Structure 1
């Protein structure tokens, strides 16, 4: 399983709701096994710059690529890009815990 995590900062706090709304479109793409968009709770004592987090799980790299190639992905990008400052992304193979 591939875990896909993306962090966004908003150009303005006034943009956060619209960023979330645009990113929620991604949840309609059928290739993820789990998908969430949420505001950062900003509970960390050291760093709270991130405003919005996208978290998705994909069966494999091919499913993640299909997700990124979907037309809805391009539409969400078109809506969100003008509103966000920074976008940081990480993809990694999930490791199962022993006994699971």
Structure 2
């Protein structure tokens, strides 16, 4: 099983809800995707990023299928402007 965590800082933090809405359209697009959750920074809680994605895949092949999937590629191209992106993938 592969866990895939991605976090972004946006050029305009007010775009976080729209960013989440767009990214949520990737949920379930490939076989082997077990979990997919997008969260935005919440007032009163500690956060160093504006948006975070947590996804779980059966294996590295399922993660790769997600990365190259046409819908994912389309979403990446249409997301609001990002200042930074951090990724952490690990096997369990």
**Class of the TM-score when normalised by the shorter of the 2 chains:** 0.7 to 0.9
Aligned to 1:38: 39
Q: CA RMSD in A?
A: 1.5
* CA shift for structure 1 position 30: 2.4
Q: Distance in 1 between matches of 2:82 and 2:28?
A: 21
SS, match of residue 43 in structure 1: coil
Match of 2:81 in 1: 83
Q: Could you tell me which runs of 5 or more consecutive residues in structure 2 were left unpaired when the two chains were aligned.
A: none
Q: Deviations over 1:8-31 (max 9, x none)?
A: 111112211121112112214123
User: Cα deviation per residue 1:47-100 (whole Å; 9 max; x = unaligned)?
Assistant: x320111010000000100111110111110111x4221111110012xxxxxx
Please report the TM-score for the alignment, with normalisation by the length of structure 1: 0.81
1 CA distance for matches of 2:28 and 2:55?
Answer: 12
Matched pairs, number: 90
Kept after mapping to 2: 8 A contact 1:23/1:76:
yes
Structure 1 stretches of 5 or more lacking a match?
Answer: 95-100
Partner of 1:26: 26
Runs of at least 4 residues off by over 4 Å: none
Q: State the partner residue of 2:51.
A: 52
Aligned to 2:27, the other structure's residue is in SS state helix
Is the 1:9–1:52 Cα contact (8 Å) retained in structure 2? yes
